[in-house]
C-alpha cells in the first residue's frame, strides 16, 4: 500500500494563512511562545535550531512511539516542541522541511497499515488543542502547521480508506477542529472545517449546529435557518437547535412559528440552560407585540420553575411597570438584589458562547478510535503497545 501524502498534506498555505490572519489577527502572535526557549522542553530542542531532515524524522518517530505507548501527556508537548523549534515565521521554507520529514515517516508507517493515520491525526489535534488552551503566542506558522496536519490527515484517511467508518472518524476530527477554531474566534476557518465535516457525514448535527451559529453571528439569518432545520431533521429533540431556529425566525418576522417553537421548549422538562432562555424569549416576543398580559403569564410561570433567575425577575418587573403596577415591579427588583449568586453561567451567556460540551461527543469518539488503533501504530513503529485503558486527556 502506498500512502499518497504529497498533495493532501501540502495544503493551501497562502490562502489558508491569509484567512487565519484575517480572522485571528496578527497581534496574537507577537510575543515569543512559552516553553520554546533553549532546553526548556523534554526534548531539549532550541527554537530556530537547524535540524536535518533525518534528525526531524528520528524525533518525530520517537514522539509517535511515545504516543503509541500511551504517554498521552508527554507526546503532544513533545510535538509542540519539535514543530516550534523547526519552523520559523521568518522563513516559510522551514515549514516545508518539517512537512517533508513528517510526511516521510507517515508514509513509512502508513504503508504498513492505513489505520495508523487516525492516532497520528489525533496527536496533532491534541497538540493544537493544548496550544490554544495555553494562549500560545509566537510561532504562528508552526501552530498553523499543526492544525493543517490534523485536517489533511483526516481528509487523507477518508480518501484512502473510503469506508463509512473512515467518514465518521474524519468528520469528527474536522468537527472538533472546527470547534477549537470557533472557540478562539477564528470563524472563517471554523466554518470551512464544519462544512468539510458535513460533506463527509451528512448526519453530523454538531458540525451543522456549529456552522449555523457562525452564520447567525454574522447575521446570515436565512442560511442559519436552513441549517437549523436540517439539524432538527437529524435530531428532532435537539433543544439548542430549536431555540436558535426560533430566534432566527423571529429575526425574519416569522413570529407565529417562532412562538410555537418557544412554547414547545417552555413546556418541556429539559433541565439545561435552553429552557429558561426560551421563557425569556417567549415573554419578549409577547411583550414586543403588545401582549403584556401574556408576557406576564409566561414570566410568572418561569419564576415558579426558576425562582432564583435574576433576569426573569427584572424582565417581569419591566412588564409589570408597563402594565401599571410599579409597586410590585419595585418589590421584584428589590427581591432580585437579594438573590444568591448563581453557580452556573447565565443562559444568555451560554447561548453566545462556544461551549466545550458542544463537541464533547465528537472528542470522545475520537479518543476511543485513536486508543483502539494505538497498538497498530506501535507495531508499525516497532514500539511496545499502549497499556489498556490509556486515553487522551481532554
The better pLDDT of the pair 75, 348 is held by 75
Q: What global pTM score does this model have? A: 0.83
Residue 266's contacts (CB-CB under 8 Å, 6 or more residues apart) are 275, 278, 279, 282, 298, 301, 302
Residue 377's contacts (CB-CB under 8 Å, 6 or more residues apart) are 64, 67, 68, 109, 116, 119, 120, 383
Q: Give 359-393 pLDDT, tens digit per residue.
A: 999 999 999 999 999 999 999 998 666 565 555 54
* Residue-wise burial string across 144-156, b where 16 or more C-beta atoms lie within 10 A, e elsewhere: bbbbbbbbbbbbb
Over 60: is that where the pLDDT of 7 sits?
no
Q: What per-residue confidence (pLDDT) applies to 32?
A: 41
Give the Cα separation of 204 and 171 in Å (integer): 8
Please compute the mean of the pLDDT values over residues 108-137 and round it to a whole number: 91
Over 90: is that where the pLDDT of 290 sits?
yes
Q: What per-residue confidence (pLDDT) applies to 15?
A: 37
- Sign of torsion over alpha carbons 156, 159, 160, 163: positive
Domains defined for the chain, CATH in brackets: 6-161+356-381 (no CATH), 253-351 (1.25.40.10)
Q: What per-residue confidence (pLDDT) applies to 194?
A: 97
Share of the chain above pLDDT 90, in %: 66
> SS3 for 325-348, per residue?
CHHHHHHHHHHHHCCCCCCCCCHH
Residue 209's contacts (CB-CB under 8 Å, 6 or more residues apart) are 227, 228, 231, 238, 240, 241, 244, 358
187 falls in which pLDDT band (50, 70, 90)? Answer: very high
Share of the chain above pLDDT 70, in %: 84
Mean pLDDT, rounded, of the chain: 86
Q: What per-residue confidence (pLDDT) applies to 26?
A: 35
Q: What per-residue confidence (pLDDT) applies to 298?
A: 96
Over 90: is that where the pLDDT of 358 sits?
no
Amino acid at each position: 500500500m502506498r500512502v499518497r501524502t504529497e498533495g493532501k498534506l501540502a495544503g493551501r498555505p497562502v490562502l489558508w494563512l491569509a484567512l487565519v490572519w484575517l480572522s485571528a489577527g496578527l497581534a496574537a502572535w507577537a510575543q515569543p511562545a512559552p516553553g520554546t526557549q533553549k532546553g526548556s522542553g523534554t526534548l531539549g530542542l532550541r527554537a530556530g535550531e537547524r535540524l536535518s531532515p533525518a534528525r526531524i524524522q528520528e524525533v518525530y518517530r520517537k514522539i509517535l512511539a511515545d504516543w503509541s505507548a500511551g504517554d498521552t501527556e508527554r507526546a503532544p508537548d513533545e510535538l509542540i516542541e519539535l514543530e516550534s523549534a523547526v519552523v520559523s515565521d521568518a522563513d516559510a521554507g522551514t515549514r516545508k522541511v518539517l512537512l517533508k520529514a513528517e510526511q516521510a515517516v507517515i508514509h513509512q508507517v502508513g504503508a504498513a497499515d492505513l489505520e495508523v493515520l487516525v492516532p497520528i491525526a489525533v496527536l496533532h489535534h491534541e497538540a493544537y488543542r493544548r496550544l490554544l488552551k495555553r494562549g500560545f503566542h509566537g510561532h504562528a506558522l508552526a501552530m498553523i502547521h499543526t492544525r493543517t496536519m490534523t485536517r489533511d490527515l483526516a481528509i487523507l484517511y477518508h480518501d484512502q480508506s473510503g469506508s463509512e467508518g473512515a467518514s465518521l472518524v474524519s468528520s469528527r476530527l474536522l468537527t472538533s477542529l472546527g470547534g477549537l477554531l470557533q472557540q478562539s474566534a477564528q470563524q472563517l476557518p471554523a466554518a470551512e472545517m464544519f462544512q468539510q465535516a458535513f460533506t463527509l457525514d451528512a448526519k453530523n448535527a454538531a458540525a451543522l449546529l456549529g456552522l449555523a451559529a457562525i452564520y447567525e453571528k454574522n447575521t446570515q439569518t436565512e442560511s442559519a435557518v436552513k441549517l437549523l432545520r436540517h439539524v432538527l431533521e437529524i435530531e428532532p429533540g435537539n433543544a439548542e437547535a430549536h431555540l436558535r431556529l426560533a430566534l432566527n425566525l423571529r429575526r425574519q418576522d416569522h413570529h407565529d412559528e417562532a412562538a410555537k417553537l418557544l412554547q414547545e421548549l417552555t413546556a418541556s422538562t429539559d433541565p439545561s440552560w435552553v429552557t429558561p432562555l426560551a421563557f425569556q424569549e417567549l415573554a419578549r416576543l409577547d411583550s414586543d407585540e403588545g401582549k403584556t398580559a401574556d408576557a406576564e403569564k409566561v414570566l410568572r410561570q418561569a419564576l415558579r420553575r426558576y425562582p432564583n433567575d435574576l433576569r426573569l425577575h427584572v424582565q417581569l418587573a419591566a412588564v409589570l411597570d408597563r402594565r401599571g403596577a410599579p409597586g410590585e415591579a419595585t418589590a421584584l427588583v428589590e427581591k432580585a438584589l437579594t438573590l444568591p449568586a448563581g453557580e452556573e453561567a447565565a443562559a444568555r451567556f451560554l447561548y453566545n458562547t462556544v461551549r466545550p460540551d458542544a463537541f464533547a461527543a465528537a472528542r470522545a469518539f475520537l479518543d476511543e478510535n485513536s486508543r483502539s488503533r494505538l497498538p497498530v501504530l506501535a507495531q508499525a513503529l516497532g514500539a511496545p503497545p499502549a497499556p489498556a485503558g490509556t486515553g487522551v486527556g481532554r
